Amino acid sequence: MDANIGSIFNENWRFIRQQYREIFRAFNVWKSEIHEEEEKFDDPPEELYSGKSFSLLKTETGVPSFSSHFIIELEQILEKIDAKIQEYEPQLLEYLFGRALFCCEVLGIEAELEEDILNEIILIVKQKIGPMIYFPPKSTLVSPRIIIPVQSYLISIIQKNPELIFGITPRQFEELIAEIFLDRGFKVELTQATRDGGRDIIAIYETMAIRTKYLIECKRYAPENKVTVAMVRNLYAVRMDEVANKAILATTSSYTKDAREFASRHIWDLDLKAYDDIIKWVQAYKNGKQYF
For the chain, how many residues are written? 292
What separation in angstroms does the CA of 233 have from each of 83, 171, 227?
30, 22, 11
Average pLDDT across the chain, whole number? 76
Q: What is the pLDDT of residues 109-138, one digit of tens each?
A: 888 888 877 877 787 777 544 433 333 444
pTM strictly above 0.85 = no
Identify which has the larger pLDDT, 265 or 192: 265
Identify which has the larger pLDDT, 267 or 196: 267
**pLDDT at residue 155 in the model:** 85
List, in order, residues 6 or more apart from 56 with CB less than 8 Å away: 31, 34, 35, 38, 64, 68, 71
Q: Domains of the chain, with CATH numbers?
A: 3-125 (no CATH), 152-284 (3.40.1350.10)
Position 230 pLDDT exceeds 60: yes
**pLDDT at residue 22 in the model:** 93
Q: What is the pLDDT of residues 24-82, one digit of tens each?
A: 999 988 888 776 655 555 555 554 444 443 344 444 444 345 457 788 889 999 999 99
Identify which has the larger pLDDT, 258 or 47: 258
- How far apart, in whole angstroms, are the C-alpha atoms of residue 49 and residue 45? 8
Distance of CA 125 to the CA centre of its chain: 11
Predicted confidence band of residue 275 (pLDDT cuts 50, 70, 90): very high
List, in order, residues 6 or more apart from 274 with CB less than 8 Å away: 251, 253, 254, 255
**pLDDT at residue 255 in the model:** 95
Identify which has the larger pLDDT, 138 or 239: 239
**pLDDT at residue 7 in the model:** 62
Q: Are 94 and 119 in contact (CB under 8 A)?
A: yes
Number of Cβ within a 10 Å radius of residue 29:
13
Position 104 pLDDT exceeds 70: yes
Identify which has the larger pLDDT, 216 or 3: 216
Q: Is 190 helix (H, G, I), strand (E, B) or coil?
A: strand
- How far apart, in whole angstroms, are the C-alpha atoms of residue 201 and residue 215? 6
H or E element at residue 231: helix 229-242
Q: What is the pLDDT of residues 132-155, one digit of tens each?
A: 333 344 433 334 444 444 467 778
Mean pLDDT computed over 9-13: 79
Angle formed by the axes of helices 69-86 and 93-107, nearest 10°: 150
Q: Are 188 and 206 in contact (CB under 8 A)?
A: no
